[in-house]
């Protein structure tokens, strides 16, 4: 039987299973929206509200998720959120009417928000613990999960049109992913009181008794602090991260929703080439995320985000000015390549600020995905789609400006990744998990 011996790779596979889980669960029910619409007899407006309910639930989950991160830690929050998503999937096809479906989808958004924060906290903690970059590849597995869900939906439809059969099969896949990941995730302790902002979510605090090497010697002396009560106001750094995430997700979401229409109405591409717009963006984004961790290790997150978002904005702007099918596809490729590493890097920076920052940044990302396509539609309706896409280019350039105000992590040298060392022998061994 194949076994992964390296602790880093074993944990990375477990966290990747969570990313795949979320992409698979989301794409499973969205791929069957026509069947759900027919079963519940929904109008176009009711379907739009159903989709909005999921996003609103995810965006509104920030206070709850922040509190649960402090109380439960990322490992237990990931399990609770993923288990809820696995239960909500069959609950959706069992919903007897539209109001119940709305409640189920809103709860699905809240659970998705919790899993999103927890799995990114786990990924960030893994990078800190092992001194290696991996977050971009983890985000690529979300796309892999979405692709797997689409293939399962297509394959199931060849044999039956039953939603029950499809969703039950999908629930089994989700159970397998959750069962694999849970025992292999990083362990952490609930964050309470003074520990709220001591370090990245998922890592134990470095103390003289529980850490060795650099982690112990570099730790600043502890100060007595009072337990904070009431809501914690976000810091200026967190606000800049939130803005970067909003502009980044506006760019990403708008390209997904408007690229095909731009190819058809503005570029006047043939019907065979119209889908190539979103295909180019998606392929370049997945490929870039598979290799972006190498860029992060070599140049650091700051340069990757600044130069990548500048490439995206400049490339798209030049495509809008030039026109034509080929320049447009090249510009779309620049967007996919440039923004691919934005969200992984911002999540890493936010996780280093604590659970409140990570939860807020995740909520702003959902807000950007919700507001972006609508904003482009409003601008396109008032002027033209060219100006709407110009807003997308401006959003990408705004990410580059925000990136100059964020405190990023610096590239680190891996610690003998091929052969794991026995516990307690590494020069900068992380604090043991309990």
**String of DSSP letters for 15-76:** HHHHHHHHHHHHHHHHHTHHHHHHHHT--HHHHHHHHHHHHHHHHHTHHHHHHHHHHH-HHH
The pLDDT confidence band at residue 388, using thresholds 50, 70 and 90, is very high
Report d(CA 205, CA 215) in Å as an integer.
9
pLDDT at position 281 = 87
258: its two tokens: 């408007």
Q: Provide the pLDDT confidence category of residue 373 given band limits of 50, 70 and 90.
A: confident
Q: How do residues 15-27 score in pLDDT, each as one tens digit?
A: 999 999 998 998 8
Q: What tokens were used for 198? A: 């001591």
The whole-number pLDDT of residue 169 equals: 92
Residue 393 in this model has a pLDDT that exceeds 90 = yes
303 vs 34: which has the higher pLDDT: 303
**Cα–Cα dist 151/171, whole Å:** 15
Computed on alpha carbons and rounded to an integer, the radius of gyration of the chain in Å comes to 22
Please report which confidence band the pLDDT of residue 410 belongs to, taking 50, 70 and 90 as the band edges: low
The residue that leads in pLDDT, 24 or 45, is 24
User: In the structure, what pLDDT confidence band is assigned to residue 232 with cuts at 50, 70 and 90?
Assistant: low
> What is the rounded CA–CA span in Å between residue 406 and residue 176?
38
Percent of the chain exceeding pLDDT 90 equals 45
pLDDT for residue 22: 93
pLDDT for the residue numbered 25: 92
**275-305 per-position pLDDT tens digit:** 888 888 888 988 999 999 999 999 999 999 9
Q: Is the dihedral of CA 376, 379, 385, 388 positive or negative?
A: negative
State both tokens at 399. Answer: 């990410």
pLDDT tier for residue 368 given thresholds of 50, 70 and 90: confident
The CA distance from 327 to 96, in Å, is: 49
Question: In this predicted model, which residue has the larger pLDDT, 422 or 367?
Answer: 367
Rounded to two decimals, what is the model's pTM? 0.75
CA-nearest of 346, 360, 348, 367 to 63 is 360
Integer Cα distance of 383 and 373 in angstroms: 15
Nearest Cα neighbor of 136 from 280, 399, 340, 332 is: 340
Q: Mean pLDDT over residues 108-135, rounded?
A: 91
Mean pLDDT rounded to a whole number for the chain: 81
pLDDT at 174: 95
Reported as half-sphere exposure (CB side, CA atoms, 13 A), residue 287 has a value of 12
CA distance linking residue 421 with residue 131, whole number of Å: 14
- Quote the pLDDT of residue 5: 62
With b for 16 or more beta-carbon neighbours within 10 A and e for fewer, the 181-207 pattern comes to: bbeebbebeebeeeebbbbbbbbbbbe
Average pLDDT over residues 70-87: 94
Q: Identify the pLDDT of residue 392.
A: 94
Q: Which of 112, 130, 108, 109 is nearest to 120 (CA)?
A: 112
Of the candidates 181, 384, 352, 357, the one whose C-alpha atom is nearest the C-alpha of residue 267 is 384
CB 77 within 8 A of CB 114: yes
How high is the pLDDT of residue 220?
A: 44
Using the CB atoms, write b or e for 391-412: b if 16+ within 10 Å. Answer: bbbebbbbbbbbbeebebbebb
């Amino acid at each position: 039987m194949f076994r992964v011996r390296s602790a880093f790779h074993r944990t990375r596979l477990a966290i990747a299973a969570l990313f795949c889980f979320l992409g698979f669960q989301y794409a499973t029910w969205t791929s069957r929206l026509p069947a759900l619409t027919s079963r519940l007899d929904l109008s176009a407006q009711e379907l739009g509200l159903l989709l909005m309910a999921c996003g609103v639930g995810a965006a509104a989950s920030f206070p709850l998720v922040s509190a649960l991160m402090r109380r439960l830690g990322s490992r237990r929050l990931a399990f609770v959120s993923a288990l809820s998503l696995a239960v909500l999937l069959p609950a959706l096809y069992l919903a007897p009417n539209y109001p119940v479906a709305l409640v189920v989808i809103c709860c699905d958004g809240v659970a998705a928000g919790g899993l999103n924060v927890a799995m990114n906290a786990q990924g960030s903690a893994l990078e800190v613990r092992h001194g290696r970059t991996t977050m971009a590849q983890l985000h690529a597995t979300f796309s892999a999960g979405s692709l797997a869900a689409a293939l399962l939906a297509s394959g199931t439809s060849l044999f039956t049109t039953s939603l029950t059969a499809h969703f039950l099969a999908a629930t089994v896949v989700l159970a397998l992913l959750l069962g694999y990941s849970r025992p292999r995730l990083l362990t952490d302790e609930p964050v309470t009181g003074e520990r709220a902002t001591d370090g990245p979510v998922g890592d134990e605090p470095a103390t003289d008794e529980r850490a060795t090497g650099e982690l112990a010697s570099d730790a600043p002396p502890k100060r007595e602090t009072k337990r904070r009560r009431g809501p914690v106001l976000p810091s200026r750094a967190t606000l800049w991260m939130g803005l970067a995430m909003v502009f980044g997700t506006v760019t990403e979401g708008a390209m997904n929703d408007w690229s095909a229409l731009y190819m058809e109405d503005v570029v006047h591409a043939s019907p065979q080439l119209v889908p190539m717009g979103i295909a180019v963006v998606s392929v370049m984004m997945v490929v870039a995320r598979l290799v972006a961790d190498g860029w992060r290790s070599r140049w650091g997150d700051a340069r990757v985000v600044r130069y990548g978002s500048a490439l995206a904005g400049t490339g798209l702007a030049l495509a809008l000015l030039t026109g034509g099918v080929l320049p447009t596809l090249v510009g779309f490729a620049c967007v996919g390549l440039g923004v691919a590493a934005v969200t992984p890097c911002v999540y890493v920076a936010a996780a280093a600020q604590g659970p409140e920052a990570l939860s807020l940044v995740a909520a702003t990302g959902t807000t950007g995905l919700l507001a972006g396509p609508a904003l482009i539609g409003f601008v396109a309706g008032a002027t033209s789609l060219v100006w709407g896409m110009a807003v997308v280019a401006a959003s990408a350039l705004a990410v580059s400006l925000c990136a100059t105000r964020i405190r990023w992590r610096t590239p680190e040298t891996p610690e003998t990744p091929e052969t794991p060392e026995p516990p307690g022998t590494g020069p900068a061994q992380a604090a043991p998990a309990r």
